[in-house]
Each structure stands twice: as structure tokens, then as C-alpha cells.
Chain A
Amino acid sequence: MNFSFELAIFGSTIAVLIIMGFLLYFFVQDYRKSLLSKEMETAPKEQANAYLSRIRRELSFSAFIMDDSKSIGIRYLITSLAFFFIAGLAGVGMRISLWYPNPSYLTPIQYNILLTEHGTLMLYGWATGSILGLGYYLLPSLLKIKKDSLGVLNSIMYWFFAVGGLLLIFSKSTASWYFYYPLTDQLTQAGGGQFSFAALIGVLFILTATCVASIIFLKMIFLDRDEKIRISSMSLFVWSIVATAILIISSAPISMIADGMVIYDLINPIYFTGANSTALGYAIMFWFWGHPIVYVAVIPAFGLIYELLPKYVGKPVYSYSSGVIALLLLMIFSGTVWGHHLFNSGLGTLWDMIFSTTSFIVAIPSAITVFNWIATIWSGKVKLTLPMMFILNAIVDFIIGGVTGVMQSDVGVNALIHGTYWVTAHFHFILLGVTTGMAFAAIYVLFPTFTGGRRYNSAMGKLHFYLTAGGTYVMTIPWALGGFEGMPRRVAGYFGIFQSYQDAAAIGGVILGIGQLIFLINFVYSAYKPVTISNDNILEEASS
């Protein structure tokens, strides 16, 4: 018999992988056992998992094999953080390329690839992923859940989310995060758009995971929580998850149906570009979810502000009931305003007026929320810690973002600024200041728990804050100003008259990028410091 070298290598690789798999499994089982208390070791999995999700848990890659809720949360947090850095680098890359009016180091197609990946990964990977992560991580301790079932389903849905993100990355789509047909179908020479169908499948995977996770959150909140916690005294973060979950379940499926129809259209165009159908049909189905997702990205951040603010001010939230009512009103109204993205698409004057009005009405619950925070700050004494700085910045950024949002909801003003950088500025204020800022604030608050009793370096943390907050303004204010003069968004090059705005924004983008790098360095550097404090944190309450 002759010896096949390839076969030997192949066989031994498989053998090593199997052995490594076994070892990994036993290591993780060991780790899990070390976390469980004596009486829990023999308890059924549901109860053991519930115990695991209530204790203070460190960051660990073992979470990828365990399936209690806290582990699932850790998985989502790690993954979404990776998506944030991937999409962030794409964003900074675009910004730098826009230094010169003519496309510089990025060709238009490369620019479009980065634009699409940045938009999709930021919204679906980072905003959605970090919210799912914080939800899975915090809800079990906030609600002291009695049982933690459905671990396998949670785990599968996490993998849907991760694979969906990978499909988005590998698709190199150029269709932007809307995936409008027929743009989705254009094949370009750099390979962009060649696999838009993969991006659509990725979005479907992520939305499936998001919907299932939302249902599980509702189950956790309404069925599994400790009886001693009454609905009327649940924490406001829990209420914000209730609002978010209902919003997701009631709007994401519409967009998923549309995505499925577009995938079919790629093979045989009958739905949105057939002889008697309209491309507007897709736009309507997309924005039915496209607007709610932006509120999905902020409502949990509102919940975090409500949760953390009292701890740094020393007074309870000014008005709990109006906080709950405002969150639920935000949920209801944000389902009714999607048409404000289509003011220039020919829905008709009557519809435009209706959506304009509903968009103005959203300002009411937003304002209730903001005034509630301000009243809370007013009633106490501010302790200016790092998370508190993120909170104050988030409030300011939300006010600016909200005002720009209400401005562009005027049909007339919208005709001016639609498709310009004004819109980009509007949502970066909120997505950077509120969504991203509060996610970082939560990570800083949870840092001692994540690392088992270590303190983050507060000088580097402050630098991270100043670069993030400052960079946001330096990047978005020129966008808003230029946008009002008509600086178009989503282009790889632009007219020379806008160069000063674009250059200022490029500087802001680089500042932002450096800031996030400092966050990462701080995280790793501080994790190697000696243990000095308890591993408790104010977000999960001192008593467990």
C-alpha cells in the first residue's frame, strides 16, 4: 500500500480537532461546575442555569459553550463589540477617503462596500447586538428569575446572529442598508453587490434571532420573574426592554417578508419590479421596520440612563410612572412614523401630512423622557464619574438629535435636506451619543464584574470619553451645516465647495477612531491590574 501524505495530514487534523473539542467541552464543564454552588451541582439544568444567570459573572470565552442567559449575553456583547470595531474602521476609512473632493484612495465601488457594511453592521451587529447582550446579561439579575429554560434555543439564535453578521461581511454588498431593489441586483466590477443575496440572508438571520430573543425577553419578564417583584415596581430598564421587544416583534417580520421577496426577485423579478408592481412597495415594507429599528437602538439606552442616573445623583427617578408611560408611548408612536423616510417618494400629500404630524407627536414622549432626567438631576447632587459623563453627553446629544429629527419631519424642510449629510448628522448624534455612549457607560459600570474585581484606568477612560464626545461633535456638526447647504450623502466624491465641511468631519472621524482604540487598550491594560475591589456593580444592585 502506498502512503498518502495528504490523507495523513487530513486525518490527523480531524483527530486533533476532535480531541480539542472534547478538551474544550470538559474545561468548560469544569468552569461551569466551579461557578455553581454545592446544592446546585445536582439541580436540574433549568435551575442551575437560573442560578448561573443571577450571580456576578466574568467575561469568558467559555460563554460560547454554556447556554444560561448570562453566557448568552456575554456572547452577544463580545460579538457586537467586534462588529462595532469592524464597522467603525469602515466608517473612519470612508471619512479619510473623503478628504479630497475627488475619490481618493477608495474607488466609488469600494466606498459603497464600506458604506453598506458600516450601516448594516452598526445597526444590526452593534446597536441590536449590544442591546440583546445587555438584555440577556442584566435581565436575569434585575428580575431574579426563577428558572432559565430555552437555553438551547437561545444558543442557536445566537449562532444565527453571528452567522448573519458573517454573511453580511462576506457579501461585500453595495446596496446600502436599505437593500432597495433593483440596486440590490447590480453586479459591479469590484465584486460589490455580487452576493447581495447573501447580505439579505444575513439580515434575515439576524432579524430572526432578534425576534426570538425579544419573545424570550418577554417570557423572562412576565413569566419567570420573582413573585416579589411586582409589575408596577419593575426597574425602568426592564420596562425599556418590554417596549423594545414589542416594537421588534410587531415590525421586524414585515421587513423580513420584504427581504424574502427581494431574494426571490433576484432570481425571478416579479414582486417589486414586475410589470404591475412598484419598487415603492419594498420601500414601504422596509421602512415599516426601518424606523422602529432606530428606536430599538435608543429605548434600551433610555432605560440604562433611567437606571444609572439615580445612582449618580443620589435621588430616585423624578417620576417613575411618567417614565414608564413615556417609554410605552415611544413604542406606540414610533410604529406610526415610518412614512417620514418617504416624503419625497410619492406617497401623496395627505400621507405626507399624516406622517409629518405623527413625527411631531413623537417629540412629546421624547420630551417627557428628557425632562424626567433633567428633573432627576435637578433634585440631587451630581457625582461626575465616567459613566455619569457619558449620561450627560447622551442627554445633550439626544436633544440635538431629536430637534434635528423634528425639523426634518416638516415636509417642506425635508424636501431641502433629504439625501444630504444633515440626515447623517441627525442620526449619528443619537447613535453615537446615546446608543454607543450608553453601551460604553454600561460596560464601564460592569467592568469590575467582567474582570472579577478590577478597576478601569480612569484617566484613559476619561480620554476615551472626551475623544468620543468631542469627535462626535467635530464630525457631525460640519455634516449638519454642510447638509443644510445641500452636501449629498452616500457619495465617494463631492463638489469642491463642501471641502471644508468634509475635512472637518474627517478630523472628527479620526478623533473618534483613536478614542475607541483607547477604550480597547484601557480594557486590556486594566484587566491585568491586581484585584482591588469587589466584583459587584451598581447596575445589578448590591444584593443578589
Chain B
Amino acid sequence: MNRITPVALFLVIIIAAVGTFAYFVSPSSGSSSQTSSSYNSTMEITLYANANGWNYNSTHPNPTLYAKTHVLLEFKIIEQDNFPHTFTINPGPNESQSNAFINVNIPAIPGTVVWVNWSFSSPGLYTYWCVVHPETMVGQLIINSSANSSSSPSVIQGSNLGNGSTVNSVEYWAHEEF
């Protein structure tokens, strides 16, 4: 047996195992390192995935959404038109796929509901859009800092337990701009 075969085998295996582990847990390049932050209340926002606009049947096909930091935004996205869509959010006023920190595919069966939950830690202007229809499906999301942001982690109970238990401070304010 060749003198270097056993050591080479050992090194190859160890380096492969440790290297791939580091690769698996590393954030991938291109996507921002943002993570969903802690939250102390939740808010539900309904959007329709439709090639003509995120809320095509309303007077505001692509509403500007207002929300606060440290609020868990529960985006309820309903497929409407048999076309594939994505729900994508990136910071800034313009669409940018490389800065997107949310990029979720919506299956093309009308009626499919996809939930996307996110809580922002920093206030600012964000863009939500669809990668497949960047011209017609794009809107703005404005995050203001919350006045009383307590950092204590809160456990949110499911609001649909059906046993009459209500959830603290669930707020529904998907404002629209006029």
C-alpha cells in the first residue's frame, strides 16, 4: 500500500466533512444576511397573486403597505390566475433580486394560499414584487419603528384554535394610501 494513501484518505474525508458542514450552515452569497427579528404582536396582510397586480380587483392593484418594526407580518398570498408567481421583498425603492431576503414561489393553482411570515427589525422603505411579473406586480412596503418595542420574546398562540381563546394584540392594519 502506498505510504501516502491512508493519510490522504483521512485528510480528504475530514476536510470534506468539515468543509461541507461549514458550507451548509453558511448564508449563501447574494442573499442578504437579514433575518426575521423577534416580535411582540402580529398583523395579517392579504395579497392576491395575479399577473395584473397584487390586488387587481380593488381600486389599488398594488397597495402601499404600512407596518411597524417588531411586528410579525403574516402575508397571506392567494393564487388567482393560474400563472406562476413569486413573492419577493428587498430593501430600497427599486426591485433587486440580489438583495431580496424573501423570495417565495406561489404554486399556479388558483386558490392556493401561501403564508409568508416576517418581522422587520429596521425601519425603512422596502419593495415587494413578483420576479415573473416585475412590471405589473410591484408595490412599496413602509416600515416605521414601533414606539414601545419591548425585546421580550413573546409566544404567539395560534389564533385559529377554535376554542375561543383570543390572541393578545393582534392588529389588522393594512393601510392603503389615497
Taking beta carbons and an 8 Å cutoff, which residues of A are in contact with B?
A: 58-61, 78, 81-82, 85-86, 88-90, 93, 106-107, 110, 113-114, 117, 169, 172, 182, 185-191, 194, 268-269, 273-275, 450-452, 454, 520-521, 523-524, 527-528
A93 touches B21 (CB 8 A): yes
Would A527 and B105 be within 8 Å (CB), given that A110-B25, A114-B25 are in contact? no
A61 touches B5 (CB 8 A): yes
B2 touches A189 (CB 8 A): no
Minimum Cβ distance to chain B for residue A192 (Å): 8
A451 to B3, CA, bound (A): 10
Q: Does B134 contact A (CB under 8 A)?
A: no
B16 touches A189 (CB 8 A): no
Minimum Cβ distance to chain A for residue B71 (Å): 18
In the complex, chain A residues whose CB is within 8 Å of the CB of B178: none
In the complex, chain A residues whose CB is within 8 Å of the CB of B6: 451, 523-524, 527-528
A172 touches B24 (CB 8 A): yes
Interface string of B122-145 (1 = CB under 8 A from A): 000000000000000000000000
A86 touches B110 (CB 8 A): no
Listed A/B pairs (10) with beta-carbon separation below 8 Å:
A59-B1, A59-B5, A81-B13, A117-B24, A185-B107, A187-B104, A187-B105, A274-B108, A523-B6, A527-B5
A114 to B17, CA, bound (A): 12
Taking beta carbons and an 8 Å cutoff, which residues of B are in contact with A?
A: 1-2, 5-10, 12-14, 16-18, 20-21, 23-25, 27-32, 34-35, 82, 84, 86, 101-105, 107-110, 112
Our pick among B20, B28, B82 for the contact of A169 (Cβ within 8 Å) is: B20
Extra pairs beyond A85-B13, A188-B103, A189-B35 (10, CB < 8 Å) = A60-B2, A82-B13, A88-B17, A89-B21, A190-B28, A273-B107, A275-B110, A450-B1, A452-B1, A523-B6
In the complex, chain B residues whose CB is within 8 Å of the CB of A524: 6-7, 9-10
A86 touches B16 (CB 8 A): yes
- Closest Cβ neighbor of B34 among chain A residues: A189
In the complex, chain B residues whose CB is within 8 Å of the CB of A85: 13-14, 16-17
B107 touches A86 (CB 8 A): no
A523 to B7, CA, bound (A): 10
Minimum Cβ distance to chain B for residue A453 (Å): 9
Minimum Cβ distance to chain A for residue B56 (Å): 19
Minimum Cβ distance to chain A for residue B12 (Å): 6
- Closest Cβ neighbor of B19 among chain A residues: A86
A89 touches B7 (CB 8 A): no
In the complex, chain A residues whose CB is within 8 Å of the CB of B107: 182, 185, 269, 273
A185 touches B17 (CB 8 A): no
Our pick among A90, A107, A117, A189 for the contact of B31 (Cβ within 8 Å) is: A189
Our pick among B18, B101, B112 for the contact of A89 (Cβ within 8 Å) is: B18
In the complex, chain A residues whose CB is within 8 Å of the CB of B82: 275
In the complex, chain A residues whose CB is within 8 Å of the CB of B2: 60-61
Our pick among A82, A185, A191, A451 for the contact of B16 (Cβ within 8 Å) is: A82
Minimum Cβ distance to chain B for residue A203 (Å): 17
In the complex, chain A residues whose CB is within 8 Å of the CB of B109: 269, 273-275
Would A82 and B12 be within 8 Å (CB), given that A114-B24, A172-B28, A189-B35 are in contact? yes
In the complex, chain B residues whose CB is within 8 Å of the CB of A88: 17
In the complex, chain A residues whose CB is within 8 Å of the CB of B16: 82, 85-86
In the complex, chain B residues whose CB is within 8 Å of the CB of A172: 23-24, 28
- Closest Cβ neighbor of B27 among chain A residues: A190
In the complex, chain A residues whose CB is within 8 Å of the CB of B34: 189
A191 to B103, CA, bound (A): 10
A58 touches B1 (CB 8 A): yes
In the complex, chain A residues whose CB is within 8 Å of the CB of B112: 273
In the complex, chain B residues whose CB is within 8 Å of the CB of A113: 24-25
In the complex, chain B residues whose CB is within 8 Å of the CB of A190: 27-28, 31
B8 touches A61 (CB 8 A): yes
Would A60 and B1 be within 8 Å (CB), given that A113-B25, A117-B24 are in contact? yes
- Closest Cβ neighbor of B20 among chain A residues: A86
For A60, A189, A274, which residue has the most chain B Cβ atoms within 10 angstroms?
A189
Minimum Cβ distance to chain B for residue A64 (Å): 12
A60 touches B5 (CB 8 A): yes
Minimum Cβ distance to chain A for residue B74 (Å): 16
A452 to B102, CA, bound (A): 56
Minimum Cβ distance to chain A for residue B49 (Å): 13
Minimum Cβ distance to chain A for residue B104 (Å): 6
A521 to B13, CA, bound (A): 11
In the complex, chain A residues whose CB is within 8 Å of the CB of B86: 187
Our pick among B9, B13, B105 for the contact of A182 (Cβ within 8 Å) is: B105
- Closest Cβ neighbor of B10 among chain A residues: A524
In the complex, chain A residues whose CB is within 8 Å of the CB of B5: 59-61, 527
In the complex, chain A residues whose CB is within 8 Å of the CB of B20: 86, 89-90, 117, 169
- Closest Cβ neighbor of B102 among chain A residues: A189
A186 touches B28 (CB 8 A): no
Minimum Cβ distance to chain A for residue B30 (Å): 7
A90 touches B24 (CB 8 A): yes
In the complex, chain A residues whose CB is within 8 Å of the CB of B104: 186-188
Minimum Cβ distance to chain A for residue B110 (Å): 7
In the complex, chain A residues whose CB is within 8 Å of the CB of B27: 190-191
A268 touches B84 (CB 8 A): yes
In the complex, chain A residues whose CB is within 8 Å of the CB of B35: 107, 189
A194 touches B24 (CB 8 A): no
A191 touches B30 (CB 8 A): yes
In the complex, chain A residues whose CB is within 8 Å of the CB of B17: 82, 85-86, 88-89
In the complex, chain B residues whose CB is within 8 Å of the CB of A82: 12-13, 16-17
Minimum Cβ distance to chain B for residue A172 (Å): 7
Minimum Cβ distance to chain A for residue B62 (Å): 21
A93 to B26, CA, bound (A): 14
In the complex, chain B residues whose CB is within 8 Å of the CB of A110: 24-25
Minimum Cβ distance to chain B for residue A220 (Å): 26
B24 touches A189 (CB 8 A): no
A38 to B29, CA, bound (A): 56
A187 touches B103 (CB 8 A): yes
A122 to B130, CA, bound (A): 36
A468 to B103, CA, bound (A): 41
